[in-house]
């Protein structure tokens, strides 16, 4: 058979439709075992093709709408599987995550662990040969470990996935490729950025990829990537639909842009923890963040309705099928969370606030003057929006980020109420503790309903339970006067390096065993 330059450069055989060797890679210089493995067709861990097709249906129906799972091109995956040339590790990973997260899969839970182990082993055995299919399988394996509590494995595999992104130059555009291939590359790079946020936000030392290292366009709208259900089906109160031109912003783009702004705000928060003297340009920096958020808010309004309507029912505002409602809700919640993150810096009593020396130098700043009001407004919006629209969205369509936003909103509501009680009735923004406790309890109930089986959410649920108990306890004056919202580190250095409860890196609890060298 003739050989193309691309395959010759990669030391692989060309593959043609109908060839018995279709979809297998044969690399020169490999041993007999590797050669034999490369001749095997894509195999399914399931008993029949129909069963795997059912698993693919479940994946694209329930998991694909989640931003961290939207990197697979549905028609291409189905076509490659029907041609028996879909990478086995990816098949195994898809089956494992669907079996874990979709109860209707009909398989037993221990199947997932076996499939994940096989997929991971296959990838590690071909470590020197990075592949976008291996990378996609790694994404699903990382998701799996985050769900079952294998946080250490997830973090280490995230580093491997990042290396694959770099090795394949997926963070750069490839204009010589077709649209589907280019968009698949873009989504792989941006998925890596989303996964990076699972471990640590704002700490460069723990980062696996940086937004500044991604030179790709943002992902396109779903209908452009082959979805039969378009994203832009929004109806305004006047009955006029929003702009559906190719230039309008898709859900993934807005989620990623908000993620970047939030990461930068948290990074600023961590940097300020190390500063004990006035920062002259802090007010200007905050105005820059606020401008970015207002611009993104305008784009959200143009594409999906205003994000500031906390009680607005998404189904009333939109004509979106439920497949994309979870993303629209995440966008709105993330926008409010970004506002909370920003104004929390100027909330003097909060552990994440800048030092009093800095805040006293900005006493006339609108950010200082409005901090309590804005934190209350946006944290309330997050919880109310979630509860108002929960019934419209399948439980599997709530992302990890929604859980984190609900958790932080509940903590902030409790902090504001407790702080208001300490200031006394003369406080201009008096927040009843009972109301805050009720909202926090509703937040816990939401997390338990939708993330009760997810290991990554257990720390958030437990932390809120402890905080609610501390705030509602009347048994001792010490309990009522305590501040359980305070970070454990008392100095700036410790607060700078503090990992959030929901950080998978924090939950991994790595142990430094170098002390053994001391005998």
The yes-or-no verdict on residue 475 having pLDDT over 50 is no
Instruction: Select the more confidently predicted residue: 144 or 9.
Output: 144
Q: What is the mean pLDDT of residues 141-148?
A: 96
The lowest-confidence range among 251-255, 390-394, 471-475 is 471-475
The predicted structure's pLDDT at residue 31: 42
Q: What is the mean pLDDT of residues 393-410?
A: 92
Q: First and final CA of the chain: distance in angstroms?
A: 63
Query: 478 pLDDT band (50/70/90 cuts)?
Result: very low
Cα 464 → chain centroid = 21
Share of the chain above pLDDT 90, in %: 55
Query: 235 pLDDT band (50/70/90 cuts)?
Result: very low
Euclidean distance between CA atoms 46 and 493, whole angstroms: 51
Query: 47 pLDDT band (50/70/90 cuts)?
Result: low
- Please, what is the angle between helix 132-148 and helix 88-101, to 10°? 30
The yes-or-no verdict on residue 187 having pLDDT over 70 is yes
Residue with tokens 């470990």: 145
Query: 133 pLDDT band (50/70/90 cuts)?
Result: very high
Instruction: Select the more confidently predicted residue: 234 or 52.
Output: 52
The predicted structure's pLDDT at residue 111: 84
Instruction: Select the more confidently predicted residue: 365 or 1.
Output: 365
The predicted structure's pLDDT at residue 430: 62
Query: 86 pLDDT band (50/70/90 cuts)?
Result: very high
Q: What is the mean pLDDT of residues 349-359?
A: 91
The yes-or-no verdict on residue 277 having pLDDT over 80 is yes
Instruction: Give tens-digit pLDDT for 283-313.
Output: 999 999 999 999 999 988 887 776 654 445 6
Instruction: Select the more confidently predicted residue: 34 or 302.
Output: 302
The predicted structure's pLDDT at residue 304: 75
Instruction: Select the more confidently predicted residue: 236 or 390.
Output: 390
The predicted structure's pLDDT at residue 311: 47
Euclidean distance between CA atoms 419 and 425, whole angstroms: 11
| Secondary structure of 408-419 in HEC code, one letter for each residue | HHHHHHHHHHHH
The predicted structure's pLDDT at residue 444: 96
The answer to whether the CB of 325 falls within 8 A of the CB of 392 is yes
Query: 240 pLDDT band (50/70/90 cuts)?
Result: very low
Cα 221 → chain centroid = 18
The yes-or-no verdict on residue 34 having pLDDT over 60 is no
Domain ranges of the chain: 49-229, 251-475+490-508
The predicted structure's pLDDT at residue 307: 64
Question: 3-class DSSP state for residue 351?
Answer: coil
Query: 256 pLDDT band (50/70/90 cuts)?
Result: very high
Instruction: Select the more confidently predicted residue: 26 or 489.
Output: 489
The DSSP string of 67-112 is GGGTTS-HHHHHHHHHTT-S-HHHHHHHHHHHHHH-GGG---THHH
Q: What is the mean pLDDT of residues 73-80?
A: 96
The yes-or-no verdict on residue 42 having pLDDT over 80 is no
The predicted structure's pLDDT at residue 506: 74
The predicted structure's pLDDT at residue 471: 86
The lowest-confidence range among 32-41, 59-68, 467-476 is 32-41
Query: 8 pLDDT band (50/70/90 cuts)?
Result: low
- Please, what is the angle between helix 400-423 and helix 455-472, to 10°? 10
Instruction: Select the more confidently predicted residue: 21 or 208.
Output: 208
The yes-or-no verdict on residue 422 having pLDDT over 80 is no
The yes-or-no verdict on residue 391 having pLDDT over 70 is yes
Euclidean distance between CA atoms 282 and 461, whole angstroms: 34
Compute the CA torsion angle 386, 200, 259, 60 (nearest 10 deg). Answer: -70
Query: 30 pLDDT band (50/70/90 cuts)?
Result: very low
The predicted structure's pLDDT at residue 198: 86
To the nearest whole number, what is the mean pLDDT of the chain? 82
The predicted structure's pLDDT at residue 51: 86
The answer to whether the CB of 137 falls within 8 A of the CB of 93 is yes
H or E segment and range at residue 184:
helix 179-196
């Amino acid at each position: 058979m003739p050989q193309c330059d691309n395959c010759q450069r990669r030391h692989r055989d060309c593959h043609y439709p109908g060839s018995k060797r279709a979809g297998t890679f044969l690399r020169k210089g490999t041993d007999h075992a590797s050669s034999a493995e490369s001749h095997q067709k894509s195999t399914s861990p399931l008993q029949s093709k129909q069963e795997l097709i059912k698993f693919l249906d479940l994946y694209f129906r329930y998991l694909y709408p989640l931003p961290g799972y939207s990197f697979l091109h549905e028609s291409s995956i189905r076509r490659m599987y029907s041609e028996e040339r879909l990478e086995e590790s990816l098949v195994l990973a898809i089956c494992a995550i669907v079996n874990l997260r979709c109860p209707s899969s009909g398989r037993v839970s221990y199947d997932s662990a076996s499939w994940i182990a096989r997929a991971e082993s296959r990838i590690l055995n071909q470590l020197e040969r990075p592949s976008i299919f291996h990378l996609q399988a790694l994404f699903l394996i990382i998701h799996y470990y985050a769900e079952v509590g294998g946080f250490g494995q997830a973090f280490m595999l995230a580093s491997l996935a990042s290396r694959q992104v770099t090795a394949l130059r997926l963070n750069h555009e490839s204009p010589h490729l077709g649209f589907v291939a280019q968009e698949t590359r873009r989504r792989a790079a941006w998925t890596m950025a989303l996964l990076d946020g699972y471990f640590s936000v704002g700490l460069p030392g723990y980062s696996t990829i940086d937004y500044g290292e991604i030179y790709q366009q943002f992902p396109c709208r779903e209908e452009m990537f082959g979805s039969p259900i378009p994203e832009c089906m929004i109806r305004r109160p006047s009955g006029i639909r929003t702009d559906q031109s190719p230039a309008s912003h898709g859900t993934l783009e807005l989620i990623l842009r908000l993620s970047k702004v939030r990461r930068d705000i948290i990074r600023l928060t961590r940097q300020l923890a190390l500063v004990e003297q006035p920062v002259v340009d802090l007010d200007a920096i905050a105005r820059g963040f606020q401008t970015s958020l207002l611009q993104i808010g305008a784009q959200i309004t143009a594409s999906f309705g205003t994000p500031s309507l906390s009680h607005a029912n998404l189904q009333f505002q939109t004509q979106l099928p439920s497949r994309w409602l979870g993303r629209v809700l995440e966008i709105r919640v993330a926008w409010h969370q970004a506002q909370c993150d920003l104004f929390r810096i100027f909330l003097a009593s909060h552990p994440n606030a800048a030092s009093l020396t800095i805040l006293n130098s900005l006493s006339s700043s609108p950010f200082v003057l409005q901090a309590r009001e804005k934190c209350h407004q946006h944290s309330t919006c997050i919880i109310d929006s979630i509860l108002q629209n929960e019934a419209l969205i399948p439980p599997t369509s709530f992302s990890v980020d929604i859980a984190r936003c609900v958790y932080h909103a509940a903590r902030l509501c409790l902090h504001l109420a407790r702080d208001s009680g300490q200031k006394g009735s003369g406080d201009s923004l008096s927040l009843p503790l009972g109301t805050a406790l009720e909202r926090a309890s509703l937040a816990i109930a939401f997390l338990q309903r939708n993330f009760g089986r997810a290991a990554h959410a257990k720390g958030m649920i437990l932390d809120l339970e402890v905080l609610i108990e501390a705030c509602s306890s009347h048994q001792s004056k010490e309990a009522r006067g305590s501040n359980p919202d305070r970070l454990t580190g008392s100095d700036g250095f410790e607060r700078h390096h503090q990992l959030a409860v929901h950080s998978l890196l924090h939950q991994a609890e790595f142990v430094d065993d170098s002390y053994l060298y001391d005998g």
